[in-house]
Structure 1
Amino acid sequence: MNKVLIALDCNTTDKKIAEVGFSFAKAMHAEVILLHAFLTPIDYSSVSYEPIMGFAGFSNLDTYQQNSEILTKTGLDFLDNVKKHLGDSSIETVVKEGEYAETILETANLYHADIIVIGSHSKKWLEKIVMGSTTEKVLHDTNIPLLIIPTKKK
């Protein structure tokens, strides 16, 4: 194992995912890449959007570029905080816009990741049918091994 890609979605469970993935990578003497993918800014203006990291979404979508830059900066700030928490300045951080599963897989292939670390929020069955599961999509569309961290609260 040379490279471990840890996909984070700015959820409260990311601390656990990052710590487990980082420990795994360090045990294998592998490089760590932290990835955060975000949807297009228009998705954050919808009524069904649930705020993350205190980001309440956009009420005004005047300029796509400006809003995309805000989401990129917010993601980079989040990943920098995770990097500081893990205490390793050699960790690479990547923020990309796009559909979650596709972006995770594209990034894993681009960086030649040997394994992808991802969380599973264990949503209810109806939610999975309606919106699908990022972890499930990644699992079915990759040949790269996955380390899936369950994050369901007991």
Structure 2
Amino acid sequence: MKKILIALDYEPSAEMIAETGYKIATALNAEITLLHVIAEPAYYSSLDYSPIMGYSGFMDTIDPALTDTVKDDIKKMAQEFLENSKKHLGNDSIKTIVTEGSFAHSIVDASEGGMADLIVMGSHNRRGLDKLLMENVAEKVIHLSKIPVLVIPIKDGEKNG
């Protein structure tokens, strides 16, 4: 495995996922790409951010009434998040991708065409209404992917390993 794609979201567990994927990639001397998939602007307004790898969120810096501007701001901030993640990992050679769309399909699409030999991502254990409303992205990626997927299980409230 020479190319590893690490999919990160804004959950506090992203730090653990990035560090675990990074350790695996460096042990294999593999090329690393960090990926963040952005969603509709309304998704971000409901998130409660805590600092992740030096990134503290951005919803107080954008105006949700300006949809096109918001999308541009979200893309810029997602790229900033990935750049901060690269700095946290201490490796300037890490590539980054910000894409938009369905989380699972976007992750799989980014891995195709020889772009990755392994996908590393987290799986959030949701309960109750959250489980009904939120798609299980990891499960869907496993189903759609043609390459191996390493899923790091995340327990409720877990931040770092």
Partner of 1:28: 28
Q: Counterpart of 1:83 in 2: which secondary structure?
A: helix
**C-alpha distance in 2 between matches for 1:149 and 1:51:** 22
Equivalent pair of 1:42/1:61 in contact (CA under 8 Å): no
Query: Aligned equivalents of 2:113 and 2:48: distance in 1?
Result: 29
Report the counterpart of residue 52 of structure 2 in structure 1: none
CA deviation after TM superposition for structure 1 residue 81, in Å: 0.9
- Number of aligned residue pairs: 150
Gaps of 5+ in 1: none
What letter is aligned with 1:14?
A: A
What's the C-alpha RMSD, in Å, of the aligned pairs?
A: 2.0
What CA distance in whole angstroms lies between the structure 1 residues aligned with 2:84 and 2:63? 27
Question: 1:114 maps to what in 2?
Answer: 117
Q: How does 1:5-154 map to 2 (within 5 A)?
A: 5-44=5-44, 49-52=46-49, 53-56=56-59, 60-62=64-66, 64-110=67-113, 112-124=115-127, 126-152=129-155, 153=157
Match of 1:95, SS state, is strand
Report the identity percentage. 40
SS at match of 2:112: helix
1:125 and 1:146 map into 2 onto residues whose CA distance is 26
Secondary structure of residue in 2 paired with 1:32? strand
* Unpaired stretches in structure 2, ≥5 consecutive residues: 50-55
Report the alpha carbon displacement of residue 60 of structure 1 after superposing the two structures with TM: 3.5
With structure 1 as the length reference, what TM-score do the two structures score? 0.87
* Structure 1: distance between partners of 2:113 and 2:78: 19
Q: Secondary structure at the match of 1:76?
A: helix
Q: Which amino acid aligns with 1:15?
A: E
Distance in 2 separating the partners of 1:111 and 1:22: 19
1:107-151, Cα deviation, whole Å (9 max, x unpaired): 111552100000011111553333221111111111210111112
